[in-house]
Amino acid sequence: MRETLQLLIYGVQLGVIYALIALGYTMVYGIINLINFAHGDLVMIGAFVAYFAAELLGANFPLAIFLAMLIPACLSVAIERLAYRPLRDKPRLSALITAIGVSIFLENFPRMLPFIGPNYRPFPMLIPFKNFTLPTGAVLNSIQIVNILVSVALMVALTYIVHRTKVGRAMRAVSFNKDAASLMGINVNRIIAVTFFLGAALAGAGGVLYSMTYPMIDVLMGIWLGTKAFIAAVLGGIGSVPGAMLGGLIMGICEVVATALYSELGYGSGFVILILILLFRPAGLLGKVKIEKV
């Protein structure tokens, strides 16, 4: 029982991070049907922004995570503008291949910069580490608490934006049909940019939270993280915001449990989930098959 709860804490801690990153995949897919392969690398950039903010500016946690959200978000808007928008009306494969190209660029450009380079770096302590023993005997530490609280707060904020604000309504309209949305007076390009901005901000936050938990960062860290978060998005139903959150949580918990059972299983668990979901429920857990009435 004590161990189960302990595993659950680890699983949720990891799961909320996957969920944050998965949201970016699902939102971009929902709005322009693109699997943004460069999304995982924005996680890495978020981690590096926080790293430099802490090391060079002495930034505290709130400032570091704010910058780590803002800079990848702006970068993501620029990527959309320069790399994806010119291909919007071209076959979907063109944009997909471009996304892979952007991803390779984002991984390798920082690698050749003298102040970043290919080596692992220890991620600084952004908050004091402290253990709390729960009445049941399970241990919860300060990083886990911050991880979960910040992730949940960001997901609540995103849900609010998508469902209760004008820009959120516009995002849902554009994701249904761009022509119909533009006939409402919605500037579709602007809404697509907002979507990239929000998704990348969450990825940047995910990068910081992940690096606080596993405090070694390098330029390739986004590949694995991105892949797992992508699986989480597919598991939940790509295009579905609550689906990405649920998928992330399930992925995190499964991975931790699989690792606890047999440590080699951890990495593989995500792919087992992916294969199972594609076989038995290709639309994902919360994904809907679109129905149109005439």
Partner 1 sequence: MMLDVKDLRVAYGAIEAVKGVSFSVEKGEIVTLVGANGAGKTSILRAISGLVPAKTGEILYKGRNLVGIPPHDIVSAGITHVPEGRLVFPNLTVEDNLLLGSYIREDTAAIAEDMERVFSLFSRLKERRHQEAGTLSGGEQQMLAVGRALMGRGTLMILDEPSMGLAPILVEEVFRTIVEVRKSGMTILLVEQNANMALAIADRGYVLETGRIVLSGKASDLAAMDEVRAAYLGR
For residue 91, with 0-12 CB atoms within 10 Å meaning exposed, 13-18 middle and 19 or more buried, which class applies? exposed
Of the residues 184, 216, 261, 275, which one makes contact with partner 1 according to CB under 8 A: 184
Helix (H/G/I), strand (E/B), else coil: 66? helix
- The residue whose two tokens read 């005997």 is 137
Q: What is the spatial distance between Cα 29 and Cα 9, in angstroms, rounded to a whole number?
A: 30
Instruction: Note the Cα 178 to chain centre separation in Å.
Output: 25
- Which of 81, 85, 88, 172 forms a contact with partner 1 (CB under 8 A)? 172
Contact (Cβ atoms closer than 8 angstroms) between residue 41 and residue 103: yes
| Out of 1, 56, 113, 294, the residue judged to bind partner 1 by CB under 8 A | 294
Q: Sign (positive/negative) of CA torsion 160, 166, 169, 170?
A: negative
Select the residue interacting with partner 1 from 73, 102, 154, 188 (CB under 8 A): 188
Nearest approach in angstroms of CB 179 to partner 1 is 5
Instruction: Work out whether 89 is an interface residue with partner 1 (CB under 8 A).
Output: no
Contact flag: residue 177 with partner 1 (CB under 8 A):
yes
Q: Residue 291, interface with partner 1 (CB under 8 A)?
A: yes
For residue 170, state whether it binds partner 1 (rule: CB under 8 A): yes
Nearest by Cα to 15 from 135, 155, 142, 128: 155
Stretch that binds partner 1, among 59-67, 88-96, 162-170, 226-234 (CB under 8 A): 162-170
Residue 294 CB, nearest approach to partner 1 (Å) = 5
Min separation Cβ 144 and partner 1, Å:
35
Structure tokens at 2: 């004590």
Q: What CA–CA distance (Å, rounded) separates 98 from 83?
A: 7
Contact between 280 and partner 1 (CB under 8 A)?
no
Can you tell me the distance from the alpha carbon of 81 to that of 74, in angstroms, rounded to the nearest whole number? 11
Of 94, 142, 159, 182, which one interacts with partner 1 (CB under 8 A)? 182
By CB under 8 A, name the binding residues for partner 1: 166, 169-170, 172-173, 176-177, 179-188, 291-294
